[in-house]
Each structure stands twice: as structure tokens, then as C-alpha cells.
Structure 1
Amino acid sequence: MKELHERKDRLEFNKLQKRLRRLTGSAIVDYNMIEDGDKVMVCLSGGKDSYTMLDILMSLQKTAPISFELVAVNMDQKQPGFPEHVLPAYLEQVGVPYHIIERDTYSIVKEVIPEGKTTCGLCSRLRRGTLYGFADEIGATKIALGHHRDDIIETLFLNMFFGGKLKAMPPKLLADDKRNIVIRPLSYCAEEDIAHFAELKGFPIIPCNLCGSQENLQRQVVKDMLQQWERQFPGRTETIFSAIRNVQPSQLADLNLFDFVNLKTNKDASVDDSGTDSCSILSLAPLTDNSVQYVDVLDIH
């Protein structure tokens, strides 16, 4: 019985690992994230996402048709109780070159941000600036961050609900300084899979003691909303992510993305026998709770 369970666990792990490898590899190819000769600076926080990213990139590095270098970088922000020995011990064990950057951003954040307010914004800006500068120092050509599909979707809704902008996290980004390219190899991967993989691998997870749980974070509210949607409508998360990859500027309202001002009719456009111009009709179907659900778009010519 024990052997049967062990075999089942191995099969489950292999299946999960292959899925994460496949999705990460697809994202890297789709967005040309890593090129031959790249030196990829893998930002390691000590959380499940960055551990998984490093593990999968190391695995892909062995079989990739191109040659690229990996170097792990962690930023010790001097949070009280931060276990400084954990990451170096792990990285030496897996044999990855690494650097530990020591910056006391903790004191800055605690001094600037009032007690009880969200610290993540300032903390991430300070961390990002330091990491960008360090990437230049070591000659890194790409900076890899551990954001996954759920992070991208949550950011989309955060920007819509609280920022009035339709934007998320791109899988590949030219940084504001124009000197660094940021990549997110886990962009296609689900957080649930990453969490399970991290548990099975037994990564030495380091919690963030600076921000704590901060249960009232706007991101947590959005996360809870999306998880509720996914429970009620399985597959919705994947559909939302597909929408992020399938943007139609002419169906939005951004004057910078589509020339609405100079939009003209085409008098030579074909019409059907009834004389109805080409248009789109929304087909709606009632739900049991008397609300309305979008069903399909029918193009009528």
C-alpha cells in the first residue's frame, strides 16, 4: 500500500512538473524572453513563486537549444528576524551562482508609511530600483521575476477598480530606465500549481515579515473575488487571461490606441439583401437569478 501511494505521488509530481515546464517554456518562446548568450538575473525572494521559477529555469537550461546563464539574486531588506542563512544554504546546495544584496529598506518603509497602511508599494519600488542597478553591475541582460498568471489577472482588476487604467503585468517589459528587460517566465502558470509544486519540492519558504498578512490589502480583496468566481464558474480565470492576450483596441475607447476621430464609413462595403450593414449583435440569455449573461457575438453581414 505504501509503495502504491509513493508511486501515485511520483506520477502526480512528474505530471505537475511537466505542466509547469511546458507552460514556462511556451511563455519564454512566445515572448522571446531568453535568447542565446543571455545572463538571466533570477530575483529570489524566498517565496514559493521565485523558488519555483528558479527550479524550472534550471531544468529548462539543461535541455534548451540555446545557451544562457542563470544567477540568483536576493535582496536582504533587513526585516527583523530574517533568516539570512536560508537562501545561501539552498543556493549552494542546488549549485547556482548567487548574490545577496543588503539594503535596509525596512527602516525606510517603516519611517515613511504610517502604521496600519499598506507597505507593499514603497517596498517594491525600493527593491526594484536596487535590483535594476545591480543587474547593470553584474552584466545581466534579463531580469526574471516570479509573477504568475494569477498575479497578472489580479493586477488587471486592481488597475481597473482602483486606478482607472486597463493594464496588467506584461510577460516581458522594457523597464522605465530603458536599460533593463524584465521577464516573467511563469506568466502562463497558475498559482495553485506553483503552490502545490513548492510544497512537493519542500522549498525553504521565507515569509515576508515586513508586510505581514495585511489581510485588508486591495490585492487580497481582488484575489478573494477571483477565487470565488473560479469556484462558481470553473475556467473563468483562464478565460480572463485569454482576454488579456486578445485585445481589440477598436472595441475599447482609448484615443491613443485607435483613431476614432478620423473613422469614416466605407460606401463600397457590401450589404446583404435586406440592406443591413455589417454589424455585431450581442446575444443575451437570462440566468436563473434574473441577471443577464453574455453568450456570444454574432457577426451579421
Structure 2
Amino acid sequence: MTHTTTETTVDLSRLPRRARTESLKLNKRLRRLVGQAIQDYRMIEHGDRVMVCLSGGKDSYTMLDILLQLRDKAPVDFEIHAVNLDQKQPGFPEHILPEYLADLDIPYTIIEQDTYSVVKRVIPEGKTMCSLCSRLRRGALYTFAAEHGYTRIALGHHKDDIVATFFLNLFFGGRLAAMPPKLRSDDGRNMVIRPLAYCRERDIASYAEERAFPIIPCTLCGSQDNLQRQQVRRMIADWERSDPSRIEHIFTSLCNVQPSQLADRVLFDFANLGGRNAPDHDWLMPGTASTAE
């Protein structure tokens, strides 16, 4: 199968020489990092039908743009189908994504589902809407992918998202978990991939600005300034000002887990480490209960 190159075009000749060089370097860096992530985790294989979830934000636009560039030169043949979920938010500019995708001349689908009304009805005023909104959105996209035979669901989460999620789970969820670059959905029907897993948000923001993507802001929860995720992001931003390499080190640690150096009794068999086949004993004093579970 042959493909027509559909990457967003930018007139680099209008840029100063140094800016033109930096723009080319940024594009090359993002393509290299996305390609490396795809290869490391075998995100896309020959014959895959990839459903690229497009929200209208900088991350998903960049993901689609880079995947289209890589598809044209990839060592395997795969399809790309862009999908947007229109959640019926008041004032949502419904024309922007269809016009953008039509100009790219790629297959796309706009799913219409009024999750906005559901969230507004269920969540009290002033409370965090993100959890329910994400769950409803994920359910609609996963169902569409399974019903239409897409073998991969591509989401636009990047390295900063992965690190932030790790700290959210650590501080507020009591567990060591993040966003894996590749994931089988809980119902087993879908394979989720995050091609931007190795990319930094600052590079994506610069790329989106250069490409002049028609960004659509989220008006449902964008004004909720006290969300836990935003608190974590402010913490990470403070760290980066003092040590720009800290996020890279944290992400590297997520890729280099040593179960024997933690305390998870399921993940590592501490009970039988150095044991001499002695019978188990109840070390709890009468009337006490374990608090380690």
C-alpha cells in the first residue's frame, strides 16, 4: 500500500536561518523519539489499524502529525484513522477538526456523545470533573475501537504526563504506578499506545506553535485550578527550575524498576528469601491487626 505524504506544511523559507535550523531539529527530534518509543515497546506492527484519538489539544495534534510522517517511511504498513469525541460542550467549535482533517485527506470520524451533560449532572458544582469525564470519554473511544476493528488506540500522553501520574498515584493513591507506554485495556478488548512517551511537553508546545495547529481549549474543566494534577505539575516545574535533568532521571527510574528493593510482597517473594522451610508463625499480638495491607 502506498501513502501520500500528509504532514502539516510550514513555509520554513519565511523563517530566519537560525529559526529554520531549530525548527528542523525539533521535528527531527520528535520523529526520532516517537520512532524509538514505537520500536522499544512494539507499539505498531505490520497490518495494524491505528485509531489516533484527537482532542484538539497540542499533544494529540503533534502525535497525529508525527505518526503521519513516520507512516510514510515506516518499515511496516499500517493504517491511521483519526477519531474525535464531540462531548457536546457549550460553545465547542464543531467545524475546526473536520476542516483540519479534511485538509489532511485522511479518514476520520467524529463521535457525538453528550458526556458534558452527564458530568455536570452528576458532579456537584466546584468538585473535580476530570475523573468522570475521562472515564466516560475512554469508554466511548474504547467501544468505538472494538466495534470497528482498530488494533491500536493511540493517545497523546507524553513524558511529563507519565511522571506527573506517577506522583499523583504516589501522593494521593498510595501506589507506585504511572502511565505505561503500552497497555491492554481492563476489558481486554483494546491495546492502548502512547507514542509520545519519550517526548517532553515543552518540545510538543513549541512544535504545535510552529505548526500553528488550530488548538481547541477544554472549557469543561480547564478552570479548575486546584486539581491535584496541577499541584503536582507546579511541583515538577519548581524542580526543573533548580535541576533541569530531574524529570529525565525520574522517567529513567520508571524504566528501571527493581522489585527486590521495594516492599511489594506480591511482586517479590520476601517471605521465602533466605527461609529455612520453617513453619509460618503468627507474630501479631493477640487483639492486634496488621496495618500493612
- The equivalent residue for 1:188 is 198
Distance apart, 1:6 and its partner CA: 2.2
Deviations 1:156-195 (A, max 9, x none): 0000000000000000000001010000000000000000
Q: Report the CA distance between 1:265 and its aligned residue.
A: 7.3
CA distance in 1, matches of 2:200, 2:63: 12
Please tell me the root mean square deviation across aligned C-alpha atoms, in Å: 1.3
Residues 1:241 and 2:273 are matched in the alignment:
no
Offset at residue 5 of structure 1 (A): 5.2
**Pairing 1:103–2:107 present:** no
1:31-67 CA-partner distances (Å, limit 9, x unpaired): 0000000000000000000000000000000110100
Give the TM-score, by structure 2 length: 0.88
Deviations 1:52-90 (A, max 9, x none): 000000000011010000000000000000000000000
Instruction: Please list, as runs of the form range in 1=range in 2, the aligned pairs for 1:117-156 lying within 5 A after superposition.
Output: 117-156=127-166
1: CA distance between counterparts of 2:169 and 2:145? Answer: 28
Indicate the residue corresponding to 1:253 in structure 2: 263
Partner of 2:233: 223
Residue 198 (structure 1) shift: 0.2
What is aligned with 2:36?
26
SS in 2 for 1:71: strand
Greater RCO (Cα-Cα under 8 Å, separation 6 or more) = 2
Question: Structure 1 stretches of 5 or more lacking a match?
Answer: 267-301
Look up the match of 1:214: 224
State the 1:4 CA deviation: 9.2
Higher strand share: 1
Paired AA for residue 162 in structure 2: I
What is the identity, as a one-letter code, of the residue corresponding to 2:220?
L
- The percent identity for this pair of structures is 67
- Deviation by residue 1:88-126 (Cα, 9 ceiling, x = unmatched): 000011112100000000000000001011101000000
Residue 71 (1) aligns with residue 81 (2): yes
Q: Which runs of 5+ in 2 are unaligned?
A: 1-12, 277-293
1:213 Cα deviation from its structure 2 partner = 2.5
Structure 2 SS opposite 1:257: coil
Please state how far the C-alpha of 1:252 moved relative to its aligned partner: 0.2
TM-score (norm 1): 0.86
